[in-house]
Chains A and B, each alone.
Chain A
Amino acid sequence: MAEDGKEESVATDDESDHTAADGTGSLNNTMVEEGSTLLRRMEICVAEAEKRSGKNAVNMQETFTVYLIETRPMDAVVEGRNPAPDALWRRYSEFELLRNYLIVTYPYIVVPPLPEKRAEFVWHKLSADNMDPDFVERRRVGLENFLLRVASHPVLSNDQILYHFLTEEHGWKEVVYETGFQAKADSRLRALSATFRVRNPDKRFMEMKHYSDELQSHTSQLLRARARVADRLYGVYKVHGNYGRVFSEWSAIEKEMGDGLQSAGHHMDAYAASIDDILEEEEHYADQMKEYLFYAEALRLVSEHEPMMIFSLLWQSSVQKHELTQFELEMASQDLISKKQQREELATGIVRTLKLLEELIAEGEETVKEKTLECEEHVEKAWVDMQRFKEQKDKDLREALINYAVMQISMCKKGIQVWGNAKECFLKM
């Protein structure tokens, strides 16, 4: 988690200690820009998780988890005062709502992702159950990470809905819906633009889209392979525990060999037990990778936004100038119609677009001018944020990879120690 600027800390009760509160290392290393982002003014943390019961939309009893968000004004912290934090409870679905709002409202920003909804890339010991305490804990950390990233973003941190999310427990949902953001959701246009490729789109965005696909593919492959390796490594360590049991039994019937065997057996037990901590630590690394797996999706959305806007503009101007045929010809030249399937998609696409166009036409020519301007602005803003994202990603992942190497070295050191001890015991046999 890094941006240009100096490092900021996560909320702790000890205001003089500006380092991460819990042992989740680099995940809580927040950086803040030299602007007036929210995080400079306010200390934020997701302190706890709790189980709740209630009736859901179809009046059925359900159990869910809520997370406690605590905030404190930063100047109070800096000045050494220690006021009690403001706090409110939110559940995962509310975080999702917030994020969807941000995606729609700032389509040119790579919006930070939420921790996964369901446990994926699970290796056998980890529970895939959403109620599992380890999963809940990791999710708590992930949600905090999300808030810190959003609150330190130069653009997103100024959003009022975000501020209310952090400060107003009740009625927040209604305020969000009132913004009417769901109407702005351009999912229909997005679907259309996926079918029609725009001619001469901005190369930078094509590259970004291509990169986002690569990032998604590589991180998911890495995560899948890593989970399988973890599973196997777990097996190797645990089987050594059987040595512990057998050596202990064997030592009972031996005279000279007995002591050596027994103590060697204890070290084998220790070895078998050590894998639990090792793999738990590795989960943090996996979470960091997952964050960027999901970031890849956010990046893809932004990279598709620009060509999609151009597409909508082209349609509008074509319709305005009664140049439908012209447009069709341009589309045809892109080899789409040569394939039968795409021909059909083209046909259905045109029908859908015509309906959309009815709405657009109604807005008139002024709208076209407005939209063109907006499009240009968006393109520039998107490009800026994509650069910011790239720097952040490089820094974060570099750190994650280094930490991973450190973890492996630590694991090796433990291994050397255990086997060294075992060797001493065998010597005494």
Chain B
Amino acid sequence: MSGQTVPADFSGHMLDLDEDEDLEVFSKNTSRADGSPMPNSPSSMVNQYRLEEDEEEQQDANTKDLFISVDNPESHVTAIETFIMYRVVTRTMRSEFDSSEYEVRRRYQDFLWLRSRLEENHPTLIVHPLPEKFVMKGMVERFNDDFIETRRKALHRFLDKISEHPILSYSQHLKVFLTAQELTSHRKQGPGFLSRMGETVRAVANSVRGLRSRPEEFTVMQEYVEDFSNKICSVDKVTQRIIKEQREYLDELKQYGPTYTQWAGSEEDLLEPLKGVAGCVERCSKETEEQIQHLSEVLVPALHEYVLCAETLKAVMRRRDNIQAEFEAKNEALASRKADQEALQEEVDGLADRVELANNALKGDWSRWQDSMRTDLKSAFMSTAEKNMEYYEKVSSRF
């Protein structure tokens, strides 16, 4: 990737009022927050994707030069609250970084901040989702070990995905997130809460107006996103159900095995075969336990990630639509009004550019996302199939 530093004009359009944990009031800073050196101009970015597709190479396979890990969760207690801090370690050869290794401590809120900045600056790029704030059922305590571990893995995945992204990985916000010892001061910069509110209101108004004509390919995309969202949610539900049934099966197995052992106590000639069957059932129990664990640790997180991705995709589609709607609104105003033609024209042209940038960004990222989804889910399903084969092999060998 070439190192062109053309500042991109994506910032300042926070269209979604997400459930932001840090509802601190930002100072009304109208400067563009993201002065990040973009690696490519948008058009050359699209070209680059085409090139990559020709070469049939994933960017990360050969050129990964940014490695981030998330580990070592530690509890932090203050007078006001208790929270978990994770250690984030970065290793890189990139020239934008002063050093080749960094270590910082970050909390969940910090990740939320990073992600919202990335989405703000790149409204039509597909930014990988973060794990949810709370899990609806099954877990009550925030500081339950399993919950923390699951979250840690998901946070790691998030940074992994960002680090592999040809555009997002060069974000200034990411750099700050990875390197600054103290993040709170940086978090206060950026478009104010109120201005973000304003954007959202405009967006809602635009969507109520409706789009004149959405390009065909984005309509197709929209439909796909709806369908994909349904299907991935269904697969997720089925998997959860399987785990539930497996757990109940396991409970019964644990009662079943001992009936053979107990019986063996009053037999002589039958002692051996009875104990044999008891041992086999016990083996079956153990393997079932492992099978459940594998499902919970491999397939469920992967599916869950893509359930969240589906929501991200929907948001991206909405933002793209809004960008187009804004342009169309101004364009109409231009057509009807006679005064201020010049100024309006300039504005309209600017918005038209913005639409084109947004569309290209999305198109480029779309195929990248699809490949990534395919690879990830394929790997998760294969791993599950292999584990199931292993389960049956181990059980039958004992019998």
Contacts and interface: CB of A to CB of B under 8 A. Distances in A.
Interface stretch (A111-119, A173-181, A210-218, A321-329): A210-218
Contact of B393 (A233, A243, A402, A416): A416
A243 B259 contact: no
Interface string A213-250: 01100110110011011011101100110110011011
Contact of A394 (B231, B238, B269, B388): B269
Nearest to B375: A429
Contacts of B381: 264, 422, 426, 429
A225 B263 CA distance: 13
Contacts of A397: 270, 273
A426 B395 contact: no
B42 interface: no
B241 A416 contact: no
Secondary structure of the B side of the interface?
helix
Interface in B241-272: 241-242, 245-246, 248-249, 251-253, 255-256, 259-260, 262-263, 266, 269-270
A222 B385 contact: no
Chain A, interface residues (CB within 8 Å), range:
35 or more
B256 A246 contact: no
A420 interface: yes
B245 A232 contact: yes
Nearest to A220: B259
B386 interface: yes
Contact of A228 (B224, B228, B252): B252
B183 interface: no
B382 A236 contact: no
Interface residues of B, number: 46
A155 interface: no
A258 to B, nearest CB: 11
Nearest to B258: A225
Given A253-B224, A408-B396, A429-B378, A398 B231 contact: no
A408 B287 CA distance: 14
Contacts of A215: 266
Secondary structure of the A side of the interface?
helix
B100 interface: no
Given A242-B241, A253-B224, A419 B248 contact: no
B181 interface: no
Nearest to A404: B277
A229 B252 contact: yes
B148 interface: no
B280 interface: yes
Interface in B354-390: 374, 377-378, 381-382, 385-386, 388-389
B52 interface: no
A98 interface: no
Nearest to A256: B374
Nearest to A232: B249
A427 B382 contact: yes
A249 B231 contact: yes
B101 interface: no
List of 8 A-B pairs having minimum Cβ-Cβ separation, nearest first:
A412-B396, A218-B263, A423-B385, A232-B249, A415-B392, A250-B231, A225-B256, A412-B392
24 contacts: A214-B263, A219-B263, A221-B262, A222-B263, A225-B255, A228-B252, A229-B256, A235-B248, A236-B242, A249-B231, A253-B227, A256-B374, A257-B378, A264-B381, A394-B269, A408-B280, A412-B395, A413-B392, A413-B396, A415-B392, A416-B389, A422-B385, A423-B389, A429-B377
Interface of B: 224, 227-228, 231-232, 234-235, 238, 241-242, 245-246, 248-249, 251-253, 255-256, 259-260, 262-263, 266, 269-270, 273-274, 276-277, 280, 374, 377-378, 381-382, 385-386, 388-389, 391-393, 395-396, 399
